[in-house]
């Protein structure tokens, strides 16, 4: 893949971000409309849903990275303790032309890492102690190059925003289902039409969070392939990342209690070893094959 095509992929990521976020916002508005139709008024329901989405999005945009790092139990890496880690990240920052991200360490024996932040100027990279102990220099550089590429490709902002918005969909759907089961609907005339509306609303409330999660998982898998390729281009050594993925595949260490399913898609490898439709990551063997074919 040539360098020019990477820039096209970055532009495509931004376009896809707008498109996917628009879909999720559309679902939020529709859920608000149904809630309003059943319990208050359609206009009030839509307004409520939009206000909730805006509040959660702003909170996620400006504080999401801190929440992610805190929930993972990440601590800031000190140069006197982790000199090679910090020097490697700084070197990759110079090579990529990106500002140096903040660097964190997670006390976890599993081999993993993730990047977070709303843009390259406000980004962070976190690496597990398992990765630092079990990977050699070339492999660790490959993993860090992958995470730096997520920052450069604006993947971290996109996934943070979609996670927040999908959370809003789940929140609204849960509110609607609880309200329908425990009462609170407006009394309306309409007989069968009202019954049909309730059934449609119930089905939509059940399926919409699942549909949203599938979209996020599918896009996350595609972005992992792009980060693998662009990370290999950054380090000029695709075999390093391929060897790291082999070690990750063979690593049977159980995820720590800090691993969170809501942020599993942010790691270089799913800490819960998801498979097939519900996996946040593409097949490891396929990733290794592509890297070794570069």
Catalytic annotation, residues: 147
Backbone angles phi, psi at 154, to 5 degrees: 60, 25
Strands (E), 18-137: 74-76, 102-106, 113-117, 123-128
Strands (E), the chain: 74-76, 102-106, 113-117, 123-128
Residues 6+ apart with CB under 8 A from 45: 32, 33, 34, 35, 36, 37, 39
SS3 content of the chain, % helix, strand, coil (to 5): 70, 5, 20
Place of tokens 């690593």: 251
Residues in the chain: 294
What 3-state DSSP class applies to 105?
strand
Place of tokens 């309200």: 179
Strands ordered across the beta sheet of 102-106: 74-76, 102-106, 123-128, 113-117
Residues 6+ apart with CB under 8 A from 86: 77, 79, 103
Q: Rounded CA gap, 105 and 152, in Å?
A: 21
The number of helix segments (H) and strand segments (E) in the chain equals: 9, 4
Using CA atoms, how far residue 250 sits from 11, 53, 134, 267, in Å, is: 35, 40, 12, 17
């Amino acid at each position: 893949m040539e360098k020019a095509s990477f820039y096209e992929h970055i532009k495509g990521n931004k376009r896809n971000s707008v498109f996917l976020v628009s879909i999720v916002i559309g679902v939020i508005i529709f859920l608000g409309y149904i809630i309003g139709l059943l319990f208050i008024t359609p206009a009030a329901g839509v307004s409520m849903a939009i206000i909730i989405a805006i509040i959660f999005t702003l909170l996620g945009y400006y504080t999401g990275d801190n929440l992610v790092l805190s929930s993972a139990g990440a601590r800031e890496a000190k140069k006197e303790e982790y000199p090679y880690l910090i020097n490697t990240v700084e070197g990759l920052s110079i090579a990529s032309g990106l500002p140096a991200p903040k660097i964190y360490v997670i006390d976890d024996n599993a081999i993993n890492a993730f990047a977070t932040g709303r843009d390259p100027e406000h980004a962070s990279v976190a690496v597990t102690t398992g990765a630092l102990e079990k990977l050699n220099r070339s492999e660790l550089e490959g993993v860090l190059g992958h995470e730096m590429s997520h920052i450069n490709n604006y993947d971290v902002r996109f996934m943070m925003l979609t996670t927040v918005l999908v959370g809003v969909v789940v929140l609204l759907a849960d509110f609607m289902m609880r309200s329908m089961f425990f009462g609170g609907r407006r009394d309306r005339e309409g007989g069968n039409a009202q019954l049909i509306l309730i059934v449609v609303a119930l089905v939509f409330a059940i399926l919409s969070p699942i549909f949203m999660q599938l979209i996020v998982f599918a896009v996350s898998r595609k972005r992992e392939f792009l980060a693998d390729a662009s990370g290999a281009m950054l380090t000029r050594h695709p075999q390093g990342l391929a060897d790291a993925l082999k070690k990750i595949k063979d690593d049977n260490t159980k995820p720590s209690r800090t691993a969170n399913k809501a942020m599993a898609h942010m790691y270089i490898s799913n800490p819960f070893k998801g498979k097939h439709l519900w996996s946040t990551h593409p097949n490891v063997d396929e990733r290794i094959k592509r890297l070794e074919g570069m």
